[in-house]
Amino acid sequence: MNYSSLLNQLEKQLKHLQRRGKHYLTTPALQEAETTALRAGLKGIVPSPERMALTAQPKMNPSDLIRQNMGQTRQEVRPSGKPKKEHPSLTPAPMKSVQSSDGSIEKLRETYKDCMNCPLGETRTKLVFGSGSSGTPVMFIGEGPGADEDAQGEPFVGRAGKLLTKMIHSIGIDRSDVYITNVVKCRPPGNRNPEPLEVAACMGILESQLRLISPRLIVTLGNVPTRALIPDVQGITKARGNLLQYREWKLMPTFHPSYLLRNRTAMPLAWKDFRSIASLAFDPS
């Protein structure tokens, strides 16, 4: 994505926030200041028009970047003394991950059930939060819900999901013993890749899920989730099977099951990754 389409997206996102969060962006002066500051902040993270905005700065994930930029912006423009209204669906998401009040993943799901932090909220049927065991040692992260997931509100229930379930079984684990979620929780229309700002808007939820579950191993499925967490990582064909680090968690990228459905020759490598996943997560000694 080039710089000008990133700005277009940013303006779309701001319009969305203005529509949804009237109490937050109320005066034209505030909007102008917010836009200017965001632009200035984003310039700092886009070294060239050729590079994806959110992969531009190594060793920082998108939520950190946007949190940093927008956090500064808010402090500058928020009228002092005005209490911030607490409404999860109107609070721009990228900045914060929340600890649900009783620390449970179900509370967290409840917190975000009506999330409207980005335009995907307007087109989804069901928000797909995630499913599985919250005490699991392994968490799989996909890209975003497809049509089946959007209809059912569960991750990986379509063709790709059936393959993922089979692969999990193949290493002697039940799907209900792992946790499965996506980088974005609402379906991108037409199954397109999520836009960087959509990823950033959803990152707070993923970070809260990670903190609550704190798995021994994160498995990212394909380029989108891998780059959402580690922006400067190599492409999936090189990165897959390598043991990486994301903050305090070990992370292994592997192929997305949809890719495997289209490229059967990659299957043996994926099986190899899944054998490593089993030993890293379930037999870590």
157 versus 233: smaller Cβ distance to ligand URA: 157
Least distance to ligand URA, CB of residue 155, Å:
4
Least distance to ligand URA, CB of residue 250, Å:
21
10 versus 236: smaller Cβ distance to ligand URA: 236
119 versus 155: smaller Cβ distance to ligand URA: 155
Which segments of the chain does DSSP mark as H helices, in order?
A: 3-20, 28-45, 62-77, 105-112, 120-123, 147-152, 159-170, 196-213, 223-229, 236-239, 257-262, 267-282
95 versus 118: smaller Cβ distance to ligand URA: 118
Least distance to ligand URA, CB of residue 31, Å:
34
∠ Cα 133 189 251 (to 5°)? 35
Give the relative orientation of helices 62-77 and 28-45 as an angle to the nearest 10 degrees: 150
27 versus 176: smaller Cβ distance to ligand URA: 176
Least distance to ligand URA, CB of residue 29, Å:
41
Cα–Cα distance list, 251 to 52, 183, 188, 241 (Å)? 22, 14, 25, 10
With CB atoms as reference, the residue minimizing the distance to ligand URA is: 142
Which residues contact ligand URA by CB under 6 A?
A: 142-146, 149, 155-156, 158, 160-161, 182, 258
Least distance to ligand URA, CB of residue 27, Å:
40
H or E element in which residue 182 lies: strand 179-182
